[in-house]
Every structure is written in structure tokens, then in C-alpha cells.
Chains A and B, each alone.
Chain A
């Protein structure tokens, strides 16, 4: 299943004094099974873009096709789109409302009109995928859980829709390192084990570098770069020019090259820079 975006434009509060064009002529295709990292600073249009992917916002002009369905078409069932494309908002724990963990996760499947047996299966399955123990937690109140657990319940609530594409807007915002690692590893597993297409919006270059297979950089409502991380991160100067950073491994590689060391081009992972340094200074010998 693919998402095809053609010449997408979106304007907030059209005609009013605060009119702003949030997206300009965005065209891109997200293929089945991809892991896309979407980066850009606040106001670059990335949050607006992801809200188009499941029809929460409608293009001012342009076209979006999800699995062959045209979003702008009046006959397209929005819910059919939302079943295919799951969207996890920033701070998703703020949407929890049911009395128990189980009921909250079941909210999505219920809206899909599934029977009780299927709902139960999905709730258990979703909880397993976000590493929440069903037996101990399903009857607990969502408001008694820790911040990290609440976030995982919220993600499970979207997973229970069993979407083919999962879009996450800053899934790690506000979490401590342990919570962040838990969320990132569950996203990694969803992609590698279930083959779910992932679109992850993130401010952390290091997170994107360690997970994504493709990086889309947004700036001023336009696609600024689109490519494999190796290519995107090798354009450090351009990224810095629009106020973004590059992963520290890339910064180190750039600075070592400037000092005349032979560091291979396109390095962006910590393991790669480590290997490069070991090639320079030699490995395993103790310089006393």
C-alpha cells in the first residue's frame, strides 16, 4: 500500500488576517514497508503534512491517494483511510479517557464496528506489541500509570486499528532516556517484525539516523531534501543553514576530515565513525 501526494498545498485560515500557507507544492510517495524520518523545525509544515496522511486535514489544492483512494473525493470513506493509516499525535497520552487500559485501547476497534472477540484479540495483541502486560494492566485505570506507560497505552490504541501505515508525531517528546529507548525499540520492532510502514516525525537527528531508511526534510512548507540518511546527512552545511543539526557522528566526521583525516564520505552512524577512528589510530594497541 502506498501514499501518493501530488502538488499538495494547504493554507490555514484562508482569507483571514492570520492567513498562512503551511504547505507549498508538496509531492512525494511513501512506499509500502518504508521507514521514513520526517524532520524540520517547528513551523516547517511537518505536523500539517502528517495530518493530511489520514484525512484529518484536507488539501487546499493538490491530491493525496492512500491505497488508491482519493482523499478529496467526497465518496471516499474517511474511516477506511483511518483504518489504513494510524496517526499517533504528540503527547498521545492526553487523549486517554476510558476507565481502564483495556477499554481505552478497544476504542478504535470498536469504532471500526468489530465484534467482541476480534476486539479482545486486537487489544491483547496491541498490548503485547507495546510491551504492556495484559494480565496485570488491562483492568487498571489509565490515570494510575506512569508517563511512559500511558504513552504506550496511547500507541496501543492506534495499533489496535491495525493500520498498514503508522505515523508518529514526536513519539518520544518529554520522555526520559529509558522511556525514549523503550518507545524507539517498539517502533523498530513494528517495522522489522510486522512490516508496518513507519513515518516518524522527530527533532532528534540521532534518533532518525539510528532508525530511518529514508529522511524527508521539510522547510517553510516545502520538501527541502528527500533521500537516504547517508545522502541527506552528508549535506550538513545546507541543513545548518535552515537551522537544523546533523547527528554528532556526522559532525565528528566533518571535523576530522577538515583536519586532514581520511574519513569515508556518508558516515552517519556511531558504529561507522567508531570504525573510521579505529582505522586512523589503530585498534587494540595500547598506547601507554
Chain B
């Protein structure tokens, strides 16, 4: 299950997309999603798909890999799809079964909504697959920097994200170990009703929290020992600089949005 999640994973590489500035990639991802949300007909989605396919090709990511990333989302997709079928009102009745009426509008809506979700996830996946977590946090920190004037803790947020990303694998490993240690003492995490199962989590969660606090404590001291003193006066190993690649990315995305708008106008 964990192996299926492409969102948030990073595929090291050296493609033009990999080499783009993370700030630009963040902005363009948002622009792409906005573009997808403006689409309201089938050819529009085809264009959005083609664009995504192109970007995936340029970045050296197999398109099938992106598609597989949707798998963990299938329940949410089905749920929203069904929800839309039921609750969107329309006039063109397709099927009518007692209290349930399926209208063309509802079907359309459900399909488009699902498509938007899929594009949202795949688009964001392209971003995270081609951008290392550290670049991503760097990009976010610098994009949010102007907000620091309004006491927005941009550096602190970015630092928190970095540390969280750094410790997720460690804590996952630790969870597995504690779980096994408690199972060796006869603990049962799998059977019983909801309450019994929730109670069974205590022997897992308490040690995990204790360990997380100890790690946090250790890390704080290690950071202090390495002269950490907040974001002021801090320099970075990687200076972010916009290059020609970013310009190409910007132009391509702009073209995509322009086409979407024109296409929308033409086909209504």
C-alpha cells in the first residue's frame, strides 16, 4: 500500500523539469491546476492530459507511474463520483429507478469532478517526483518570504517541513519495531471491535511518542550545537536562480492556459 503512493515521492534525475527552479515549478503547478479547473468540456480535458503527458515525457517519468499514483485515491474518487451522481440536479433524465433519478448533468458533473481530482493529483505528483523535498521546502520558504513582513513564520514552517520529511522514514521504521516487540509479548493489533483495536494501539503509541519527544530533544541540541539560530542571516547552499528553463516552463504553461481559455470560448 505504502509503495503505491507516488504523491510526495521523489525520483532523482537530471531532466529539464528536474533542473527548473522549485519556485517556478510551484507556481506553474498551481497555474496548471487552475487551468484544469477552468476546463468544462471533453476536448479541454484531452488538452490537459496531453500537456501532462508532455511534461512527464520531458521529465523522464513514465506516464504509467503517474497513473498508478491514483490507485490509492480510488475510494475517494468513487465516493465523490457517486455523491455527484446523487446530489447534482439536472433536467435531462437518463434513468429513473424509483427515488433515484440519474440525469445527464449529474453524470457530466461527476465525471468532470473526478477528472479534476485526477489531474490535481497527477499534476502535483509531477512536481514532487521531479523536485526533492528540500528544494520544495526551499521554494516554499522563498515564495512565502515576502509574507514574513506580516510576521508570517516562513522559515520556521519550512524548517518544520524539512524535519518532518527527514524523520518520517525513521519513525515508520520505529513503529514497525515497536509493533513487533509488543506482538512478541502477545499483543494483538488485528482482531476485536473498534474500541478493542483503539485500546490495543496504546502500547504502540505511547512508546512512539516517548521516542519522538526524545528524538526532538536530541535534535534540538544537535541543531544548537551546529549554531542554529533561526532564519535571520542564514545563507543557503543552493541559491535559487531562474534560468532559461524556467522561462520555457512558464511559456509552455501560459500557452496551455491560453489554449484552454480559447477552447472554452469556442466550444462554450
Contact = CB atoms under 8 A, between A and B. Distances in A.
B202 interface: yes
A97 B185 contact: no
A82 B187 CA distance: 10
Given A89-B177, A94-B211, A107-B203, A56 B186 contact: no
A89 B211 contact: no
B184 interface: yes
A89 B186 contact: no
A51 B184 CA distance: 9
Contact of B181 (A79, A92, A111, A161): A92
A13 B4 CA distance: 12
A56 B184 contact: yes
Given A16-B3, A107-B203, A95 B186 contact: no
A94 B184 contact: no
Contacts of B186: 79, 82-83, 107-108, 111-112, 161
Interface string B175-205: 0011011111111100000000000001100
Nearest to B188: A111
Q: How large is the interface on B (under 10, 10 to 19, 20 to 34, 35 or more residues)?
A: 10 to 19
B203 to A, nearest CB: 5
B206 A97 contact: yes
A118 to B, nearest CB: 14
Nearest to B210: A143
Given A82-B184, A89-B184, A97 B177 contact: no
A95 B186 CA distance: 13
Contacts of A95: 178, 181-182, 185, 203, 207
A56 B183 contact: yes
A73 B206 CA distance: 33
Given A94-B207, A97-B207, A87 B184 contact: yes
Nearest to A163: B184
Contacts of B180: 51, 56, 89
Nearest to A110: B186
Interface residues of A, number: 25
A54 B184 contact: yes
Nearest to A108: B185
B187 A111 contact: yes
Interface in B1-34: 3
A193 B187 CA distance: 28
Contacts of B211: 94
Contacts, number: 60
B123 to A, nearest CB: 24
Interface string A74-98: 0000010011001111001011110
Interface of B is mostly: helix
Interface in A45-83: 51, 54, 56, 79, 82-83
A154 to B, nearest CB: 8
A157 interface: yes
A111 B185 contact: yes
Nearest to B187: A111
A127 to B, nearest CB: 16
Contacts of A111: 185-188
A158 interface: yes
Nearest to B182: A95
Contact of B185 (A51, A94, A158): A158
Interface string B91-126: 000000000000000000000000000000000000
B185 A161 contact: yes
Most B C-beta atoms less than 10 A away, residue of A13, A97, A112:
A97
Contacts of A143: 210
Contacts of A97: 202-203, 206-207, 210
B198 to A, nearest CB: 15
Contacts of B182: 95, 107
Interface string A249-282: 0000000000000000000000000000000000
Nearest to A97: B206
Interface string B211-237: 100000000000000000000000000
Given A79-B186, A97-B202, A97-B206, 16 more contacts: A82-B185, A86-B184, A87-B181, A89-B177, A92-B181, A94-B174, A94-B207, A95-B178, A95-B185, A96-B207, A97-B210, A107-B187, A107-B203, A111-B186, A158-B185, A161-B186
22 contacts: A56-B183, A56-B184, A79-B186, A82-B185, A82-B186, A83-B186, A86-B184, A89-B181, A89-B184, A92-B181, A94-B174, A94-B178, A94-B181, A94-B210, A95-B185, A97-B202, A97-B206, A107-B185, A107-B186, A108-B185, A108-B186, A111-B185
Interface of B: 3, 174, 177-178, 180-188, 202-203, 206-207, 210-211
3 tightest CB-CB pairs across the interface, nearest first?
A: A111-B186, A97-B206, A108-B185
